[in-house]
Structure 1
Amino acid sequence: MIEETAKQTLQTQQKEPLKEETPTQSQQTANLEDERSGECVDRAASQQTQHQQRLQGDVPVQQQAQDIPNDVITKAKERLQGGVTEEQLGTAEHPRLSIWDFGGQAAYYGSHQSFFTYRGIYILVMSLLQKLSDPVPDLDYKASADNLVTGRDYLDHWLNSVHTHTLVHGQEHTGKPPVVLVLTHKDNVSKSDIENYKKEVLEHISGKAAGKHVLPRIFVVNNFDKDNSDIDELREYLCEVAKSQWYMGQEVPITWLHLKSKLMDKRKEGDPFCPFQDVVGLARGDDVGITDDSHVADILTFLHDLGDIIFINEHFLRDHVALRPQVMIDVFKTIITVPEYQQDRSMGGEVAEMWRRLENEGILSDRLLTIIWTKADQKMQKPFLLQNKTFLKRLMEKYYLICNATPIGVVDNTMQEPEKEEIYFVPSLLASKPDEGTLYPHMTRCQSPLYVVFDNMFLPSGMFYRLQAICVRRFGLQESRVFVSCGRFPTDDAKQQFVVTKVKHYLKVELLSSESEDQSVFTQGLPVRKFLSSCLFEIKEKWIPSIQYDWCFGEESDEGTGKMAFHKLSDIGREMGMGSSW
């Protein structure tokens, strides 16, 4: 009865001012509006005052008092006021939104998928001073590995990233979630140049699946405008877009909101993590009243999807709840970052060598990780990195940001093998660009390579990083040679190896033999293709279910242009060019 009364009152507060002559209507759930991207204008002070007055007890109960004892009403009001405020919830008219700013350097691209959500509004910022055809400076020398050269390339990359990583089954052609284009440096270009730029952008994305996400209204802003009118207009527009989204006003049980309030209060205490069992304890409290642990996990998963917390309901990861999503970025940033932000690079000797190996070979030793996090903890008021080291490493492994590549040796039953230091492979930090001699060391190349061609001419960085990580996990670092956009790996035949190279929107797979050309017989093609197919399927199922690709043969369509014409394996008979290699 207490919970039902609380539900009724909260729903009424959210939807309309209370009137003494109208009894509150029975409602089973309360509204929660919460999103990740954009930021709404602040509520007027008068609205805040009215809301505070309502929470302080100006809730009419005269008509209810005849049927409900006063002590029950009092307890219900106390329960309602247990931290669940309109400011935390947002309303249909004033949704509460939060901003996420993705790092622009290519080194971060592999981690972006961790933060993409279909419950978002994406703002793509472009400079009017840089034409779509102009080359964009490669700040960390990794964008070239993704074939990002011009402004047009970056426009496609970001729109394809949103389209690929947020796709919901059944909404492939709806253009959801929305993308708002914002053009900067309004004060440095003419009105005609602005209109021409808009036209060029719209023509470029027209007819593309990813282009459907872009809203028709394009904003042009001057960051130095003192009256801030451009930004205010953009903010108001984002609020209107947010209110029109299908999930706004989604109903959830009020007990979920009470638990969320408890977690937000705990966040204010400064500790970014909370053990799952502590959350269970909060949920079982009288002011929340949830006793089923699986129900608690469902609530945490919902809050994770909203971007309020980080909770992965999987073995080894469900024991911790990150109360501040920013903490995941802070952790990733200590390792997966551009050189200017790396710590201790000026130190000589062994530490400097460990940094060099991390950057050039993508190898992170557990010792270097401890050094980095020790230094980082010393700068914090409440250190948390080393204390949660095991969980944080597993979290990064979950997102394939690191891959455990510790050599596995044979342990003699009669002798205890010394414990080896853990070594991790960090694909997104590879910087070496191999020459032909390094990638194909005195080996004969099969003349019929295979290709994995991805739809929409988009191969996500994270997908290739994960493929590299799985290969290293399978074959070990000692037998593998990995580089920024390619890798060479062994096969079951000691005389044969295979190379995987990322080229634009496709993967090129080649067989190598250590025997001379006239004696080379390539027998590992089918096992290699089966292995890579299983890897790609695993990545697709776990991470990018919307991605589509085909195994193909390829040939140059025009001499000198480098453009390829692809033919699907399913469309070609084995006798028509497949040969015996694959």
Structure 2
Amino acid sequence: MESMERQVNPVIKDAVGGFEGRLITDARRDAESITSSLWDFGGQQVFYSMHHIFLTKSGVYVLVFDLRDLLQQEKGAVWLDYVSFWLGSIKLHAPTAPLLMVGTFLAENITKDDLKRFDSIIQNVAKTKFSNIVRNTQDGLLFFPIDNRERLGVFNLRTQLEYTIREDESVRQEVTIKWMLFLDNILLKRTQVSYITLSEAREMAVDLGITTISEQEQALRLFHQRGALIHLTSTDILKNIIIIKPQWLIDSLGKIICDPGLHADVVEFKNVGLEDDFNSTFNDALTTRDFLDYIWQGEPIDFLVDLMKRTFLLSEWNFTQGEPRFLIPSLLRSTCPDEARGIKCVFDFSKSFLPVGVFQRLLCLCVAIAAKSKLRILEPILFKDFCSIELQQNSKINLKTELSNIILFVENDKQSFRNFSIIQSMLRKINVDVLGTGLEWSEYMEDPKTGKLFSQSVAKSNQLAPWYSNPEVTEEIKIATVKNMELNSFLDNFQ
């Protein structure tokens, strides 16, 4: 330890000494300065399934929409879905974070009467979705109408945004000079690379006198929470990569979770022998490692695959002969034309919010369980809103999503409670690992004799058949869903 200190101290003295003098001078001049990071999510709906990775409890959110959509009646429903989705998602991940709503294209024949009417619409939507919206006091509105080209309303928005940021308590958190230097040195790498390895970060930290692993991880965790970088730690593969350009991750995932039109030149894939892989990816939501290698060439592919697995955006697919493939449920497009069969259990999210991507993640976990089975089971049947799958041999379930519900249909009565417990545990894990525990739902079980639905607590107390009538399942299946529980360990509980 002493020899390390002798090696490190001169570096600290030079770096911190020079930095300290500059810091004092800069602090006196720019004591009130604030630097903000801006993350831009794509407008494509397929991005909705992955946005949860980037939302944190801290920060200030800005929801931007096109005012012209409110002028056109035919676009009203689309606008409502868009705004409702983002209000619900932000409330789910950051219920206390301030939110500014911004309407663009103010100069496009928008009158004062239009603004009042828009404000009334927004008030009606917001009052049931999100309460911590920053008001536009200058214009007496709940939103900020602006026009970038004509610079209308921009100064007012910028002033209110800066004020809101300054009022955030987290902005005033003090850290040591060594931590500030540590972050500065990490972010200097942005000019060269989009990510660094954990070992590279540790070397930077040691050079600055941050020698213990616990302090290094504490600093990285703070940088992650503040949006300066992304450092995921649920597996060794993820932990080894520190993303210093968050937009790089959005862009990388957006190359595969995207509308197929993004890859307009199909001839390009035909020329490299990947035409079938392209069609399989965007027609059937089944991709290959060769296809991922091509679109992610030069990137840390194992990291990106592992990230998608651990956030339930991708699962292995080994139900067919030939090259192993991966399922990406958010690329499923067609809807199921048939009615589901079996007694049903309803997971009802109507009292809160069912985000886009939850059902797709549930499909991922179901496929992952089925793929781990050592017995021969049927190939799953998948649609955008439906799944028919054997979680174990001769125990087929059907899952369907509609409105604010996810509905489980069980075809084998003897496996009804076990299958309910599996789906319940999966939803809990998605909630803990991806959604910050903000998801809420109620559960209702069907009485097959009458077709009536009863709450899970009533069904349990009345020993409603077949859910609670089988003596082999009188004790509820307990599955650990602690945060960041290793995925394979979680899946092994069901084998």
- TM-score class, shorter-chain normalisation, is 0.7 to 0.9
Deviates more, 1:75-84 or 1:289-298: 75-84
Q: 1:499: which partner in 2?
A: 398
Q: Identify which of 83, 87, 90 aligns with 1:155.
A: 83
Q: Is the 8 A contact 2:386 2:400 kept in 1?
A: yes
Q: Identify which of 122, 126, 133 aligns with 1:214.
A: 133
Matches within 5 A, 1:33-432: 77-80=17-20, 93-131=32-70, 134-136=73-75, 149-167=77-95, 176-187=96-107, 188-206=109-127, 208=128, 210-217=129-136, 218-225=143-150, 228-268=151-191, 270-285=192-207, 288-314=208-234, 315-342=236-263, 344-346=265-267, 347-348=269-270, 351-374=274-297, 384-385=298-299, 388-406=300-318, 421-432=323-334
**Alpha carbons of structure 1 residues 267 and 450: separation in structure 2 relative to 1, 3 Å:** same
Q: Which amino acid aligns with 1:367?
A: D
Number of matched residues? 438
Task: Return the offset for 1:82.
Answer: 8.3
Deviations 1:227-274 (A, max 9, x none): x24112211110001001121211112211111111122222x12222
Q: Is the 8 A contact 1:92 1:248 kept in 2?
A: no
Deviates more, 1:155-164 or 1:297-306: 297-306
**Alpha carbons of structure 1 residues 214 and 75: separation in structure 2 relative to 1, 3 Å:** closer
Q: Which amino acid aligns with 2:306?
A: R
How far apart in 2 are the matches of 1:81 and 1:395? 42
**Alpha carbons of structure 1 residues 182 and 526: separation in structure 2 relative to 1, 3 Å:** same
Q: 1:8: which partner in 2?
A: none
How far apart in 1 are the matches of 2:14 and 2:421? 67
Q: Identify which of 466, 474, 492 aligns with 1:580.
A: 466
Task: Return the offset for 1:92.
Answer: 6.0
How far apart in 2 are the matches of 1:85 and 1:462? 49
Q: Is the 8 A contact 2:362 2:426 kept in 1?
A: yes
Point out the structure with the larger helix share.
2
Tell me the secondary structure at the aligned position of residue 224 of structure 2.
Answer: helix
How far apart in 2 are the matches of 1:78 and 1:338? 50
How far apart in 2 are the matches of 1:83 and 1:467? 50
How far apart in 2 are the matches of 1:335 and 1:76? 44
Q: Which amino acid aligns with 2:315?
A: C
Task: Return the offset for 1:470.
Answer: 0.4
Q: 1:522: which partner in 2?
A: 413
Deviations 1:52-108 (A, max 9, x none): xxxxxxxxxxxxxxxxxxxx9988531426899959x99663311121122222100
Alignment RMSD = 3.2
Tell me the secondary structure at the aligned position of residue 291 of structure 2.
Answer: helix
Q: Which amino acid aligns with 2:457?
A: S
Q: Is the 8 A contact 1:360 1:432 kept in 2?
A: no
TM-score of the two chains, using structure 1 as the length reference: 0.69
TM-score of the two chains, using structure 2 as the length reference: 0.80
Task: Return the offset for 1:467.
Answer: 0.8
Structure with the greater alpha carbon radius of gyration: 1
Stretches of structure 2 that go unaligned for 5 or more consecutive residues are: 1-11, 137-142, 372-376, 469-495
Task: Return the offset for 1:565.
Answer: 9.7
How far apart in 1 are the matches of 2:24 and 2:319? 51
Q: Which amino acid aligns with 1:214?
A: I
Q: Is the 8 A contact 1:449 1:511 kept in 2?
A: yes
How far apart in 2 are the matches of 1:492 and 1:262? 51
How far apart in 2 are the matches of 1:483 and 1:84? 60
Q: Which amino acid aligns with 1:462?
A: G
Q: 1:482: which partner in 2?
A: 382
Task: Return the offset for 1:334.
Answer: 1.4
Stretches of structure 1 that go unaligned for 5 or more consecutive residues are: 1-71, 138-148, 168-175, 375-383, 410-419, 513-520, 556-563
Q: Is the 8 A contact 1:455 1:548 kept in 2?
A: no
Q: 1:543: which partner in 2?
A: 434
Aligned identity (percent) is: 22
How far apart in 2 are the matches of 1:132 and 1:118? 34
Q: Is the 8 A contact 1:84 1:258 kept in 2?
A: no
Task: Return the offset for 1:161.
Answer: 0.5
